[in-house]
Amino acid sequence: MPKTQKVKYEEMFPHEFKKAFETNPTAYLPIGSLEWHGHHNVLGLDSLKAWKILELVAQQEGGIVFPPLNLGLDGFPDLDLKKHPHKKYDCYHLDEALLKKVIKSYIGRMIHIGFKTIFILAGHYPNSKIAQSVVKDFENKNVQILVGKEPDYVSGQEGDHAGKWETSLMMELSPSLVNLSLMDNQDDRLQGVFGTDPKESSVKHGKEMVNKIVQGIVSELKKT
């Protein structure tokens, strides 16, 4: 697919949407969060990485990438408020019932438009189980709905939170949105980080992982 062809819904004129849809009626939906990802990463990391990965997939395979759903499930309710009461940046809390309703509405409209395949990438990992539970409501709708997380497409990878894995992905996907030096001289430099120390992150590792993720998603789509 020529990289000059648009793949992002919000950037398309109606005739461009029509052409992209007729060429490949696949919809991509990134679902993320707005939350702390260490001193060194931006607050929208989860949404941004999933959005960019799906853009790369669509540039190869065609289809239309929808804007990310930025609000997701709090996997550990109020943990941060109890451990770090001074940390006031997180905005991603939606209760499970409301999140299910929102995702269901997205999927319903995509089916109404006529998409035959819907791929949901959960950049905020707790969102994945919610999306998978919603998909069951559409089993008889003549549409293929797939849900995944980036680590699902790399053998032996479990992912992390603001550690080497996520930080390396962002160094490849959006390098201007990572700054490891912001961790320097911080008493709590690993606050909110789960996984290998992000100081071990690299563009090389990020590029390798991004390539595997994109090709893994492409391979899954070709099976549908």
Structural domain includes residue 166? yes
**For residue 83, what is the domain's CATH number?**
3.40.50.10310
pLDDT for 84: 63
Strand order in the sheet with 26-31: 64-65, 26-31, 117-122, 144-148
Ranges under pLDDT 50 in the chain:
none
pLDDT for 80: 59
pLDDT for 192: 84
Q: Which domain holds residue 175?
A: 9-222
> How far is CA 218 from each of CA 56, 93, 146, 211, rounded to the nearest angstrom?
10, 31, 12, 11
pLDDT for 86: 58
Structural domain includes residue 181? yes
For residues 212 and 56, give the distance between their C-alpha atoms in angstroms, rounded to a whole number. Answer: 12
For residues 185 and 27, give the distance between their C-alpha atoms in angstroms, rounded to a whole number. Answer: 44
Structural domain includes residue 1? no
Structural domain includes residue 185? yes
Q: 31 φ, ψ to 5°?
A: -125, 125
Looking up tokens 């160094």 gives 171
Number of domains composing the chain: 1
The total of other beta-carbon atoms located within 10 Å of residue 102's CB is 17
pLDDT for 116: 97
Structural domain includes residue 158? yes
pLDDT for 51: 98
Structural domain includes residue 205? yes
